[in-house]
Structure 1
Amino acid sequence: MLAKTYLGDPRLAWMVEDANPKESFLADRLVVIPLVIQNRAGITEKGYQTVPILCYHRFAPSCDSPLCMPVEIFEQQVRYLKENGYRVIGPEALVEFLNYRKPIPKNAVMISVDDGYRSIYELAYPILKKYGFTATLFIYIDYVGVSSQAITWDQLRELKREGFTIGSHSVSHSDLSKPKKDEDGKAYMARLKDEIFRSKQILDEKLGQETFIFSYPFGRQNQKVASLARQAGYTIAVTVDRGSNPFFADPYMIKRDQILKRDMDRFTSRLKTFNYFPLK
C-alpha cells in the first residue's frame, strides 16, 4: 500500500522494506519512504551488488539425469530463497539495473528454465506460485506441443498472464557457435538468422509480446551470434557460464549457474548477490 501510494507501483514494496528495520512495521512506528533513488548500481565502499541467475531444465518426482531436478529438492530450494530474504526478479528489472536506470532489491536473484518441458507448467509452476515467485522461461519453437512432455502455447499464455517472462531459446536448439558439418559460410549465416530472428517473430506473434531476451542453445555463442541477437531486437542474452552479474556486465553475455547438483550447500553457494571488493 505504501509503495503504491507514494512510489506509484506496489511492486516497489521492496524499496520500503529495505529502507526500514523490521520493527518499523508495527503500530505507532515511523516508516521511511525513499522518494529519491540514490544507488542504482548497488555500489558501496565494501563492493558491489551482483545478480545470480539459476538455470533449470526439467522437473520430475524422481530423476536419473543431472538436467532433471526432483520436485522435492526444487521446493526445498525455493523455500530457502523465501525464508532467507531473497527476492526473485524478472529480466525487465535486470535490464534496468544493467542500464543504470533503476536499482533492484538486495539479495535479488533470477530463476530461469530452459527448453520448454511441460514439467515447468505441471510441477515447477505450482511450487513457485506457492512462494510468490515467477521465472523466466526459454523456449525453443520446434519443441512446443510436439508431445506429452512438451509445453503448449496455451500453457505458455497462462504462465505469461501469471507474470512469467517467455524468452527465445532458438527455433531448433542447434549449436549456433560453429557451422555444422559440410555447412558453408552462407548456409551457416542463414541458419543463424533463422534460429535467432524467426524464433523471436514466432514468439511475438503467438504470445502477443515483444520478446527481448534470448538464451543461447547449450550456452554456446561467439561475437557473430551475439551481434545477430542484438540486431534481431533482443536487449539481453544469457549463457551458462558460471557466476553472478554486476551492473557493468555485458548484456549479451549474461552468466547463469546451471543447478545440476542436489545438495543444498552447492545450491546456496550459487546465490552470490554481493562481490566484496574494497573501493576505498
Structure 2
Amino acid sequence: MIANRKIFPFFLNKNKNLLLIVILLFLLLYICYQNNFPIDNIVYAEETIIPILTYHNFTTEKGSSYKINISDFKKQMGYLAAHNYSVISLSELLEGLKNGQLPPKPVVITIDDGFKSTFTLAYPVLKKYNFPATLFLYTNFIEKNGYSLTWKEIRKMTKNNIEIGSHTLSHCNLLKYKKNENYETYLTRIRKEIFLSKEILESKIQGKVKFFAYPYGAYSSTIKDLAIQAGYEGILNANSMNNTLTADPFSLNRQIIFSQSSLNSFVQILNQRPLSASQIFPYDGIIESNQFVKIGAILEGDNYNAKTLSMKLGGAKVKFNFNPENKEISFIPSKPLIKKSYIVNITASDKNANYRRKKSWLITIK
C-alpha cells in the first residue's frame, strides 16, 4: 500500500499535461461538431483550386468548337464523380469565398447562351450525378427558334439544382460601340443590356438572379461597375484560369471547355494552378491602336520552372523576353494589333509537381 501511495501521485504529476491536452482536444472536437464544421474538410486558401468550367452547346454528332459531343461531357462528369470532386453551385462558391471554407476539390459548372441541348442532353447527365450548374442566358435567344430553350424548360431545371445567371439581352460585345453611337448612347444601351436582362430573368423564373457573365469575356471597369450597380453578387469573365479562396467575387475566372478538349486536357484544367504576378501591364488592359506598348507581367514566387515559360496573345504564341533578376516576362508587338480584345496567357510548369501554372488577363485594342 505504501508503494502505491508513492507511485500514484508521481503518475498524476508526470501526466497532468497530457491529461489537459486530451481534455482540450475533446473540447475542440465538440465545438467543431456543434458548429457543423468538420475539421477533416477544412481547406485553406493556399491549398484550394476552384475551376469554373464553361460549356455552350451539346450534340450527339461530331463536336465542333463550342459544341461538345455529349459522350465527352458524360466522360468528364463521370471523371469528376469517380475522383471525388465536390461539384458546387455558384451560390455555394460565393458563400465559401465569404467564410473562407469550401469542401475538398471544389468545381463549378456553368453553361452559356441557352441552347436546347442544355435541356435535352446535358441536363439529364447533371441530374444523374446530382450536380448543380448555372445557366447564363441571354434573354433575346430564349424561345427564338427550335435550337433555343423555352421558359418552361428553364423553370423546370431551376427546380433541380440549376441556377440562372444573366448573359445580357442580346449577347453583344459590351466593349463595342455601334455605328454613329456616342459615349452617352453607348452607356445607355449597355446599361439596359445588364439591368433589363436581370429583371426579365427574375420575372420569368420567379427567383433571384445573382450572377452575370460577360459575353465573349469582354469587359472594362465601367461595365463591371454597372453590373455591380445592377445588384449582381458575382461576375464571371473568360480569363481561362482557376480561382482560389482569395478570389474577388466580381472577377471570377472561367475555363471554356471546347469540343477538342480530350479527357487528359480536361484533367490538366482541373489541376491547373495560378502563376502569381505582382504586376501586369498595361495595368488597365487598354491599348491605343497606334501604340507599341509592352505587354507582360512581373512574376513572383519560385514555384514555377522558368525554362518552361510560354506566352500567348489571343491563342497565338509570341516571342517574349524574360529577365530572371526582376522576373519580368514581356513582349512588344512588332506592328499595330487589330482592334479587338485579347486574352494574354502566361504559363509554366510547376517546379515540383506535374501540372501547369497560369496567369491570364484581358487586354483591349481601342
Q: Same fold (TM over 0.5)?
A: yes
Q: Give 2:44's aligned residue.
A: 43
**Cα displacement (A) at 1:192:** 1.2
d(CA) in 2 for partners of 1:257, 1:266: 12
**Cα displacement (A) at 1:127:** 1.0
d(CA) in 2 for partners of 1:172, 1:244: 27
d(CA) in 2 for partners of 1:133, 1:145: 25
Q: Secondary structure at the match of 2:193?
A: helix
**Cα displacement (A) at 1:275:** 6.4
| Fraction of identical pairs, as percent | 33
Q: Give 1:96's aligned residue.
A: 95
d(CA) in 1 for partners of 2:252, 2:236: 5
Alpha-carbon contact 2:44-2:245 (below 8 Å) kept: no
d(CA) in 2 for partners of 1:151, 1:164: 14
Q: Give 2:271's aligned residue.
A: 272
**Cα displacement (A) at 1:35:** 3.7
d(CA) in 1 for partners of 2:78, 2:197: 34
Q: Give 2:279's aligned residue.
A: none
Report 1:160-175 matches (<5 A).
Answer: 160-175=158-173
Decide which of 150, 153, 156 is 2:151's aligned counterpart.
153
Decide which of 104, 125, 128 is 2:126's aligned counterpart.
128
After TM superposition, the structure 1 stretch with the greater mean CA deviation from structure 2, 33-42 or 173-182, is 33-42
d(CA) in 1 for partners of 2:183, 2:122: 41
d(CA) in 1 for partners of 2:159, 2:215: 26
d(CA) in 2 for partners of 1:41, 1:210: 30
Alpha-carbon contact 2:44-2:101 (below 8 Å) kept: no
Q: Give 2:226's aligned residue.
A: 228
**Cα displacement (A) at 1:273:** 7.7
Q: Give 2:186's aligned residue.
A: 188
Q: Deviations over 1:81-106 (max 9, x none)?
A: 0000011100111111222x262210
d(CA) in 2 for partners of 1:143, 1:82: 32
Q: Letter of the 1:180 partner, please give it.
A: K
Q: Secondary structure at the match of 1:171?
A: coil
Report 1:205-220 matches (<5 A).
Answer: 205-220=203-218
Alpha-carbon contact 1:107-1:273 (below 8 Å) kept: no
What number of residue pairs does the alignment pair up?
A: 245
Decide which of 107, 110, 113 is 1:109's aligned counterpart.
107
Q: Letter of the 2:61 partner, please give it.
A: S
TM-score, L = length of structure 2 = 0.63
Q: Secondary structure at the match of 1:137?
A: strand
TM-score, L = length of structure 1 = 0.82
d(CA) in 1 for partners of 2:274, 2:196: 38
Q: Secondary structure at the match of 1:271?
A: helix
d(CA) in 1 for partners of 2:134, 2:140: 19
Report 1:5-154 matches (<5 A).
Answer: 34-36=33-35, 37=37, 42-43=43-44, 47-99=46-98, 101=99, 103-154=101-152
RMSD in angstroms over aligned alpha carbons? Answer: 2.4
**Cα displacement (A) at 1:41:** 8.2
Q: Deviations over 1:64-89 (max 9, x none)?
A: 52100101111000000000001110
Q: Secondary structure at the match of 2:164?
A: strand
d(CA) in 1 for partners of 2:102, 2:273: 12
d(CA) in 1 for partners of 2:130, 2:242: 23
Which stretches in structure 2 are left out of the alignment for 5+ residues?
1-30, 276-300, 303-366
Q: Which has the higher contact order (CA 8 A, sep 6+)?
A: 1
d(CA) in 2 for partners of 1:64, 1:48: 35
Q: Secondary structure at the match of 1:270?
A: helix
Q: Based on CA coordinates, which of the two structures has the bigger radius of gyration?
A: 2
> Could you say which structure has the higher strand fraction?
2
After TM superposition, the structure 1 stretch with the greater mean CA deviation from structure 2, 182-191 or 34-43, is 34-43
After TM superposition, the structure 1 stretch with the greater mean CA deviation from structure 2, 161-170 or 60-69, is 60-69
Decide which of 189, 195, 198 is 2:196's aligned counterpart.
198
Alpha-carbon contact 1:109-1:273 (below 8 Å) kept: no
d(CA) in 1 for partners of 2:203, 2:272: 36
